[in-house]
Amino acid sequence: MKRILSGIQPSGALHLGNYLGMMRPAVELQQQGEALYFIADLHALTSLHDADALRRHSRDVALDFLACGLDPSRALLFRQSDIPKISLLSWILSTVTPMGLLERCHSYKDKTARGLAATHALFSYPVLMAADILIYDSDIVPVGKDQKQHLEVTRDIAVKMNETFGDIFKLPEPSIREDAAVVPGTDGAKMSKSYGNTIEIFAEEKAMRKKFMGIVTDSTPVEAPKDPESSSIYQLYRLFSSADDAAAMAERFRAGGTGYGDFKKQLFGTVWEYFAPMRAKRAELEADPGYVDGILRTGAEKANAIAEKVMARVEAAVGLR
Ligand code: ADP
Ligand code: TRP
């Protein structure tokens, strides 16, 4: 059986890009193998130094994941920091990781360019991510396209380890959905917390409507034909509707006579309805904190059992045991 693994940073409220790029595929994949999903709180520390906010976001991500369909009878859910050997493996991996490999990573350059402090942790972030993946002998890693390079780094580090110490690790494969590889934000650029162009999946109705109505459009007049493919309204709608409904909207774009405002309203209505059952589930879960704690505890126990086995192999191979 294939082992599927992914993580998400608790650095803020989840948005449509996180949901479509990572969470929805991860939930779908839990049917196809042994799934492990975790809250990457150690990674979040690279950008968030506010203890209360980190605790709150970590809890929110757990609620979001469960509300969006993570089935605890099929998939494990746990906090990264509950797996102590991650940090040990990260150190071991860093001893074979060439500086040049990390220097090539876009993420460090992008994040420091946007004002994040140029810390050692931000620079070595891909090594910690490699440890997350390799410590469970993961086969498949569902992520958005922006994480593709980190998977390549993980594979390079695994190959280096195998060359240096003998066959220790298997090489994981990313799973990237082409249709949701880069979900556009309200300004048409990649939706991202750091660009201020996000639509949060569990926003209040009024706030969510406002975000949709604020999607940036060109100045094509109401009566003129419009190109669906170049519009983020249509690109988002397509990801939440049936093929028939998407084709119908594309047709109305091309026909002219409908303004962007009407398309935005239709998109908002569809997305609001789409998340209705998940909002209800989330409210239920929020009322029962003990239940969520129990899931995280069980998840950590089972994940640790897998990690310990792999680490026994690693520690023996490198000579620590
Ligand atoms: P952000 O860019 O908002 O900080 P993260 O880097 O925390 O988002 O991403 C968490 C997960 O969501 C990753 O797997 C990432 O690839 C995916 N993801 C984030 N934004 C998008 C997007 N706009 N389109 C597709 N996937 C995305
Ligand atoms: N770096 C990922 C992100 O920013 C989160 C993450 C950490 C992750 N460790 C992982 C994703 C391991 C997949 C597998 O979204």
Q: Is residue 189 part of a domain?
A: no
- List residues near ligand 1 (CB under 6 A): 8-9, 17-18, 21-22, 143-144, 146-147, 180, 182-183, 190-194
Q: Which residues contact 121 (CB under 8 A, 6 or more apart)?
A: 45, 46, 128
The minimum-distance atom of ligand 1 relative to the CA of 185 is: 23
Check whether residue 111 and residue 247 sit in a common domain. no
Mean pLDDT of the chain: 96
With cut-offs at 50, 70 and 90, classify the pLDDT of residue 114: confident
Q: Is residue 147 part of a domain?
A: yes
Check whether residue 299 and residue 244 sit in a common domain. no
Three-state secondary-structure class, residue 105: coil
Residue nearest to atom 15 of ligand 1 (CA): 144
The residue type of 211 is: K
Q: Which residues contact 267 (CB under 8 A, 6 or more apart)?
A: 212, 233, 236, 237, 240
Distance 190 CA to ligand 1 centre (A): 9
The closest ligand to the CA of 198 turns out to be: 1
Nearest to 131 by CA among 178, 99, 165, 97: 97
Total number of domains constituting the chain: 2
pLDDT at residue 179, as a whole number: 87
pLDDT at residue 194, as a whole number: 80
Check whether residue 18 and residue 118 sit in a common domain. yes
Check whether residue 234 and residue 91 sit in a common domain. no
Q: Encode pLDDT of 237-291 as tens digits.
A: 999 999 999 999 999 999 999 999 999 999 999 999 999 999 999 999 999 999 9
Q: Is residue 306 part of a domain?
A: yes
- Best mutation site among 64, 93, 143 for ligand 2 pocket (most ligand atoms within 8 Å of CB): 143
Check whether residue 230 and residue 307 sit in a common domain. no
Distance 250 CA to ligand 2 centre (A): 34
Check whether residue 212 and residue 248 sit in a common domain. yes
Check whether residue 104 and residue 225 sit in a common domain. no
Integer-rounded Cα Rg, in Å, for the chain is 21
Q: Is residue 194 part of a domain?
A: no
Q: Please state the rounded mean pLDDT for residues 232-238.
A: 97
pLDDT at residue 228, as a whole number: 96
The closest ligand to the CA of 184 turns out to be: 1
Task: Please give the biggest Cα pair distance in the chain.
Answer: 74
Check whether residue 99 and residue 228 sit in a common domain. no
pLDDT at residue 67, as a whole number: 98
Q: Encode pLDDT of 127-177 as tens digits.
A: 999 999 999 999 999 999 999 999 999 999 999 999 999 999 999 999 999
Nearest to 76 by CA among 68, 84, 65: 65
Joined tokens for residue 310: 């792999």
Check whether residue 124 and residue 12 sit in a common domain. yes
pLDDT above 70: percentage of residues in the chain: 100
Give the CATH number, domain containing residue 174.
3.40.50.620
Poorest-pLDDT segment among 10-14, 231-235, 243-247, 262-266: 10-14
- Best mutation site among 6, 140, 155 for ligand 2 pocket (most ligand atoms within 8 Å of CB): 6
pLDDT at residue 181, as a whole number: 85
Q: Is residue 281 part of a domain?
A: no
Check whether residue 162 and residue 226 sit in a common domain. no
The closest ligand to the CA of 200 turns out to be: 1
The residue type of 91 is: W
Check whether residue 91 and residue 228 sit in a common domain. no
Q: How far apart are CA 220 and CA 45, in angstroms?
A: 44
With cut-offs at 50, 70 and 90, classify the pLDDT of residue 78: very high
* Neighbour count for residue 73 (Cβ, 10 Å): 5
Strands (E), 16-161: 34-39, 75-79, 140-142
Distance 9 CA to ligand 2 centre (A): 7
The minimum-distance atom of ligand 2 relative to the CA of 132 is: 12
Distance 21 CA to ligand 1 centre (A): 7
Q: Is residue 209 part of a domain?
A: yes
Q: Encode pLDDT of 80-107 as tens digits.
A: 999 999 999 999 999 999 999 999 999 9
The residue type of 264 is: K
- Best mutation site among 146, 179, 183, 198 for ligand 1 pocket (most ligand atoms within 8 Å of CB): 146
Range of the domain at 210: 203-274
Q: How far apart are CA 284 and CA 289, in angstroms?
A: 10
Q: Quick check: CB of 41 below 6 Å from ligand 2?
A: no
Check whether residue 263 and residue 308 sit in a common domain. no
Q: Is residue 192 part of a domain?
A: no
pTM score, whole prediction: 0.95
What residues does 36 pair with on adjacent strands? 5, 76
DSSP state of 36: E
Q: Is residue 129 part of a domain?
A: yes
Give the CATH number, domain containing residue 224.
1.10.240.10
